[in-house]
Structure formats: C-alpha cells, structure tokens
C-alpha cells in the first residue's frame, strides 16, 4: 500500500529520519501521505510509518448505532487503549508528520490516546511536527485540540495541511455518511463521489518537495535563509532537526524557551468544549511547552479556512460538548438509558442541521459586511502556522 523505501539514501541528502504517525479508516489520509512522501522516498529520506491501532479496533464500515455511541467519548477525549507501537526503542526522528481524520469536530480517539501517552512525549518533545487532516469540511475545532495537545508535550507545531471535500455541502451531507456506513464512496443518484478529490490528494506532492528542499538546504540555514543556530539558541546543527532550521529539544529544556503564546495541553483541555488556538496570547504556557517551529510549507496553500463555517463550528463544538456530558451521565456505551438519550440527541442534531444551519447561513450573509474583518482575522489565526498564501506554489508544484 505504501511506497517502498530505497535501501541506499542519496549521499547528498542530510540523513534526517522522518516519523509518520497515521490513523485512517477509509484510507483517505493514507493516500494523501503517499503523495506527500513520494518525493522524499524517491530521494532516499528514511521514513518510518506508524499506524495507530486501538484495542479493540473500531469497526469500518460503521454500524449506525455503534457510530453514534462513539460520539460522547470522542468529544470528551476519553482515550481508548492503543496497541504497542512498532517504533524501535531509542529511535529519534528529525521531523514528525501526523495524519488524521475528524470525528465529531474532534480528533479521532486513537490520536488523542497517542498524544496523551508517554510515547508521544518521548518522540515529539522538542521536535518539529506537521499535521495533516483530510475530512468533509469542518476541521478547525479538531485541529485546535491537536494544537493544544502538541503544546502540552513540548512539540514544535510547524505546519498544518488541510484537505477538504470541495463538493456541494448538501451533497456531501449524504455522500459522507454513506461512505462511513457502507464503505462506498462512488457516485450515486447524480451526486459526486465522497471525499477529497484525487487532484487535491496528488497535490500533496508539493509539500513533500518543500520538505525535501528544506532538508537539502545548507545546515547553517533553512530554505528561507533563517539560521538554524540562531533559531535554536545555539543548538548544534547536528541535532536531529538541525537541517530543517527548526529549534530542537536542546532549547525546549531551557526555562526561557516557553512561550506565553502557547496553550496548555492536558486531558482537561477536553472539558470545556471550546479550545483556544496555540497562538492565543491570553492563554498561559505549559511548563515544558515549546514555541512553534519555522513553517516549512508557508506559501503553498497548505491550510485554507472557509470563513462561512467558523461560527457553525464554534456553536457545534459547544453543543457537542454539552450533549457528550449528558450522554456519558446516562451510562456506559450500550446501556439502555444512554441508547434512549442517543435517540433524543439524533433528533436534536437533525433539527439543528435542518433549521439552525440554514438560518445561520442567511444571517451570516446579511451581516457579512459587518463581520468581514473579524472573520478574516479569525481565519488567519486558525490557518496558522502554515497560512493560506500561495506565493511559493510555482517553486514546488
């Protein structure tokens, strides 16, 4: 399924090992990773792909009721058990890439479990991390949770890639559940195929080329000419992330490397229903939080926010959090009281989709001139650290 790795890395390439942490049921995230990693593997960059597996595994395709019953624990961050990782003991990596889908405006439970565990702290602390998500259209709140968790373990979140279904929102409201519940994503009833387009999937190769360019840049600087030693406060260029020009754990261990712009990341972050961006100035820093790394994918349209969905995501996250608490209070998964409340939640959710969402679209259209600047600022914040600019597309397309 995955591209084969060359046995002999190119001698001209600095030997940086890349760790890829992946979770996907449909295979959509894996296809995006295949495209991204292609240029790196062809150049001989050593890559270890680690698939997260829960114990027991979640089903796919999903039985409808089981899918709904997974909602409360997903939203509240109640992490399941993971099978042991296959990463060799003592292995170190210069760059980490995390690919994941979005479940109920939240990270999938497997990724939450990983980021709350000791393995993530050991492997990611002080390392530059690129996150990638492929989903229907709403990803902001899930990514804000990921930013928070990464900050709490001292990882340096340097880039985020977002791939979404560009089809009609009402069509994807039918095609995406069909895909999850039946495993079929093909065209039907005149509706387009579900999921991210093949063009966008293949377009991820540009990110791999940009990463490769950063790896091949002189050790004294990055692809953009930023000095690695200056960025890391004097850390050796031989440290694992040195060739990327991103600060390593050499500076993460010093007290003054923490940033007041970094959010606290603990399991309690899932208890509020709303999640501050890692760039939100008012949020205090975790004791070992590391500042964000230098973006490698800026100017490549890595992350584009649909401003029309910002308010809907915020409202949805608050409602999901409230219902998740109610459902968990009704009992364990599968218990009769919880099943009865799940029926009420389903009715509420459908009513929300059919009434509140259309009304919010109308209101946002009416008030668009007044909210344009505010929404633009919010979009720019959520698009960090990579941003939505396209000024470097010609270099790597």
- In a domain, residue 332? The reply is no
- In a domain, residue 185? The reply is yes
Show the CA angle centred on residue 166, arms to residues 301 and 40, nearest 5°: 45
Residue 109 is part of which domain span? 18-304+376-396
- In a domain, residue 330? The reply is no
Q: What is the pLDDT of residue 214?
A: 92
Contact 146, 23 (CB under 8 A): no
- In a domain, residue 206? The reply is yes
- In a domain, residue 85? The reply is yes
* 395 token code pair: 């270099």
Q: Which one, of 31, 384, 14, 349, lies nearest residue 173 by Cα?
A: 349
Q: What is the mean pLDDT of each run of 10 residues along the chain (397 residues)?
A: 42 64 97 98 96 96 95 95 93 95 97 97 96 96 97 96 90 91 92 94 98 79 35 34 48 36 42 42 37 83 92 90 96 95 91 76 78 90 95 95
- In a domain, residue 320? The reply is no
- In a domain, residue 353? The reply is no
The number of folded domains in the chain is 1
Buried b (16+ CB within 10 A) or exposed e, 115-153: bbeebbeebbbbbbbbbbbbbbbbbbbbbbbbbbbbbbb
CA distance 23 to 99: 6
Beta strands at 81-82 and 54-55: parallel, antiparallel or unpaired = antiparallel
What's the pTM value of the predicted model, to 2 decimals? 0.81
CATH number at residue 287: 3.40.50.360
- In a domain, residue 86? The reply is yes
CA distance 314 to 300: 27
Q: How far is CA 181 from CA 22, 64, 261, in A?
A: 21, 7, 41
């Amino acid at each position: 399924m995955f591209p084969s790795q060359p046995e002999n890395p190119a001698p001209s390439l600095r030997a940086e090992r890349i760790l890829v942490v992946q979770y996907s049921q449909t295979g959509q995230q894996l296809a995006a990773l295949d495209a991204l990693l292609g240029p790196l593997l062809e150049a001989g960059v050593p890559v270890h792909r680690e698939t997260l597996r829960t114990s027991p595994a979640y089903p796919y395709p999903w039985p409808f009721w089981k899918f709904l019953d997974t909602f409360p624990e997903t939203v509240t961050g109640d992490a399941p058990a993971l099978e042991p990782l296959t990463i060799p003991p003592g292995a170190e990596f210069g760059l980490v890439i995390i690919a994941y889908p979005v479940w109920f405006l939240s990270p999938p439970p497997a990724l939450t479990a990983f980021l709350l565990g000791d393995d993530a702290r050991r492997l990611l602390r002080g390392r530059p991390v690129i996150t990638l998500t492929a989903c229907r259209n709403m990803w902001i709140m899930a990514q804000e949770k990921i930013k928070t968790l990464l900050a709490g373990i001292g990882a340096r979140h340097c880039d985020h890639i977002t791939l979404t279904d560009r089809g009609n929102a009402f069509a994807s409201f039918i095609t995406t559940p069909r895909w999850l519940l039946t495993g079929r994503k093909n065209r039907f009833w005149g509706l387009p195929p579900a999921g991210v387009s093949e063009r966008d999937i293949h377009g991820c190769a540009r990110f791999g080329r940009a990463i490769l360019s950063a790896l091949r840049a002189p050790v004294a600087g990055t692809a953009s000419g930023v000095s690695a030693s200056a960025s890391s406060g004097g850390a050796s260029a031989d440290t694992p992330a040195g060739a990327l020009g991103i600060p390593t754990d050499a500076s993460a261990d010093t007290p003054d490397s923490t940033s007041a712009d970094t959010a606290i990341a603990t399991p309690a972050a899932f208890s509020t229903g709303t999640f501050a961006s890692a760039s939100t100035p008012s949020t205090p820093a975790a004791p070992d939080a590391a500042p964000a790394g230098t973006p490698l994918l800026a100017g490549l349209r890595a992350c584009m926010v649909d401003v029309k969905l910002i308010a809907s995501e915020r409202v949805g996250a608050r409602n999901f959090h409230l219902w998740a608490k109610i459902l968990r209070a009704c009992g364990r998964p599968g218990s009769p009281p919880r099943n009865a409340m799940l029926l009420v939640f389903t009715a509420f959710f459908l009513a929300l989709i059919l009434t509140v969402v259309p009304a919010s679209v109308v209101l946002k259209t009416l008030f668009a001139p007044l909210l344009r600047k505010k929404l633009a600022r919010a979009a720019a914040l959520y698009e960090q650290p990579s941003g939505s600019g396209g000024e470097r597309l010609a270099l790597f397309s």
